[in-house]
Structures are given as structure tokens and as C-alpha cells.
């Protein structure tokens, strides 16, 4: 799944590469996916986008916004898959879910994995949408330690679900998924099932610092090594905790690293360091 470092990387590349290009055509690919949602029928995307110019791109948490003309945008919501740019129709994948052609012959494709939303809407609609720009992105000016403490206290399931549930729910902190969660909790030395009320002041500070360190480092490296940027290049961030590290010794204490299942997904951790 695309998380904040990948969204930031792809949006930056879109802004540099696609700005001032003009849409020629939009189409669905031969692949179908029941968990790919559009905000309008595909033919309405095509009719509206044809002749419109890309005016920039940005990201917010896990979302990517590609601006169209002066008052519309394509909103790539929380999703998994590949958004790829193909100069002059070169190197197109044989199968994809969505395709945007530009008048200069270049193409952008999207191949979905798991689920995702690609909406076409007015900028004014975005500010009113219940799922848009909720939560506080790490590294933003609003993500101060005091605000982080407040979010922890406001988490409605703080006595039922562990820290994992808080971190991966975008309406609280927007930008973290199961990929970066593992390293954040490892750096903070906190077990994913720990309940919020049990966290000490020092642990809260470590968790806040681990979020900043992990996300900042991943952005600098262009995202995770198992994700791809707009040009199909893998990111440079190698995860400390993943399926590849299970059974290996912990870099800190030497204890064998483990995999557990918690809240519907895998967690990778050191049972000695993370308590």
C-alpha cells in the first residue's frame, strides 16, 4: 500500500513531470477490479479531461492530488498498486486498470493492488469530503508533540485496541500504514498491542520521535524498497522489521525476531525489546 513517503515521492514526480501536459484521453484497461472506485462513470472522466491541462500535484498523508485546470483534481485515495509514467507510449504494461493519454504521446497507467479510489472532483468538493485531508500527517507543522499527545488521548478505542490501531487509522495520523508501522514501533520499543493508557511519558516521546525519524528517512530515500515510484524505480528504504527479517537476530539485543497476527494483519517485532 502507498503510504506517506510513497505519496510524497510520486506527487513530487508528477508535479515535475506532468505539469503543463494536456490530457487527450482517459480509458479503463482490460483488467477489472471490484475494489477500484471512481467518483463518476469512466466516460465522464474522458469527456471532462480531454483538452484539460495538468497544473500541478501535491500529497496529503496517503493521498495524491493531481490538479486539472484551475478548479478540479484527480484524487488518488488510499490505495495499493503502481502509478506509472510512460514517455511517448514506451514500455506500457500489457495489462492495467486505468490509463491517461497526453497530447504529447506520453501515458500514465494505474495498476491496482488490493483496493483504491481515484476520484475526479472540484477542489471545493475536496474540502467538504468526509474522507479528505482528515488526520494529521507526520512532519507537518501541526504534528507537534503536544498535538500527538492530544490525539492519543482522543483515540476512542484506546482501551480496546493497541497502538497499532491508532497509528494506521488515517483519521488520527494520516500517512502511516502497516509497512512503516513495524519500524516505528521497533524504534520506539513498543509492542503493537500495547494499550494507549499504559504508555509512559517517555514511551510517548519515543513513539513520536520514531514516527518522525522513520517517515523522514523514508521520504529522503524515495519510499520503501518494495514500492515503486512514478518511473517504476524501487524506493531506497529497507525496512528493519518485515517478513524478510523473521527468524533473524534482533540488531539491538540478538533475540530472534518474530511474526504475530494482530488487528487483521501481520506484525514483525522483537519480543524482548518491544514490550
Would you list the domain boundaries of the chain?
4-128, 145-269
Backbone angles phi, psi at 261, to 5 degrees: -105, 125
CB neighbour class for 262 (10 Å; exposed up to 12, middle 13-18, buried from 19): middle
Task: Output the pLDDT for position 130.
Answer: 66
Name which of 46, 92, 259 is nearest 274 in CA terms.
259
> What grid cell was written down for 189?
520499543
Q: pLDDT value at position 220?
A: 97
- Regions of the chain with pLDDT less than 70: 34, 89, 130-131
**What is the CATH number that goes with domain 145-269?**
1.10.8.50
Q: Could you tell me which residues are beta bridge partners of residue 249?
A: 256
What sign has the CA pseudo-torsion 160, 240, 206, 257? positive
Residue corresponding to grid cell 521497533: 186
Nearest to 262 by CA among 156, 152, 168, 183: 168
pLDDT of residue 254: 96
Q: Please, what is the angle between helix 178-188 and helix 201-220, to 10°?
A: 130
What residues contact 114, with CB distance under 8 A and at least 6 apart? 1, 35, 79, 80, 81
pLDDT at position 188 = 98
CATH topology of domain 4-128: N-terminal domain of MutM-like DNA repair proteins (3.20.190)
pLDDT score for 200: 96
Q: Looking at residue 134, what is its pLDDT?
A: 82
Element (H, E) at 201: helix 201-220
The whole-angstrom separation of Cα 176 and Cα 157 is 18
Tens-digit pLDDT profile for residues 204-234: 999 999 999 999 999 999 999 999 999 999 9
| pLDDT for the residue numbered 8 | 97
| Predicted pLDDT of residue 171 | 85
Nearest CA to 190 out of 169, 167, 171, 172 is that of: 167
Amino acid at each position: 500500500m502507498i503510504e506517506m513517503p510513497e505519496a510524497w515521492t510520486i506527487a513530487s514526480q508528477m508535479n515535475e513531470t506532468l505539469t503543463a501536459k494536456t490530457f487527450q484521453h482517459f480509458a479503463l484497461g482490460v483488467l477489472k477490479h471490484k475494489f477500484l472506485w471512481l467518483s463518476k462513470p469512466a466516460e465522464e472522466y474522458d469527456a471532462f479531461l480531454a483538452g484539460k491541462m495538468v497544473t500541478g500535484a501535491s500529497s496529503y498523508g496517503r493521498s495524491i492530488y493531481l490538479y486539472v485546470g484551475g478548479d478540479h483534481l484527480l484524487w488518488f485515495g488510499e490505495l495499493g498498486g503502481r502509478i506509472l509514467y510512460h514517455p511517448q507510449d514506451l514500455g506500457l504494461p500489457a495489462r492495467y486498470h486505468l490509463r491517461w493519454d497526453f497530447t504529447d504521446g506520453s501515458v500514465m497507467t494505474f495498476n491496482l493492488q488490493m483496493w483504491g479510489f481515484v476520484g475526479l472532483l472540484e477542489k471545493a468538493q475536496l474540502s467538504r469530503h468526509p474522507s479528505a485531508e482528515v488526520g494529521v500527517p507526520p512532519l507537518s507543522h501541526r504534528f507537534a508533540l503536544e498535538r500527538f499527545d492530544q490525539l492519543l488521548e482522543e483515540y476512542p478505542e484506546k482501551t480496546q485496541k493497541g497502538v497499532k490501531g491508532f497509528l494506521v487509522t488515517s483519521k488520527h495520523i494520516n500517512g502511516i500504514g502497516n509497512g512503516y508501522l513495524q519500524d516505528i514501533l521497533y524504534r520506539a520499543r513498543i509492542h503493537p498491542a500495547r494499550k494507549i493508557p499504559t504508555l509512559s511519558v517517555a514511551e510517548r516521546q519515543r513513539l513520536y520521535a520514531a514516527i518522525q525519524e522513520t517517515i523522514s528517512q523514508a521520504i529522503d530515500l524515495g519510499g520503501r524498497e518494495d514500492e515503486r515510484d512514478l518511473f517504476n524505480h524501487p524506493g531506497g528504504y529497507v525496512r528493519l522489521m518485515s517478513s524478510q527479517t523473521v527468524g533473524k537476530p534482533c540488531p539491538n539485543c540478538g533475540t530472534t525476531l518474530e511474526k504475530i497476527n494482530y488487528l487483521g494483519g501481520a506484525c514483525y517485532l522483537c519480543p524482548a525489546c518491544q514490550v
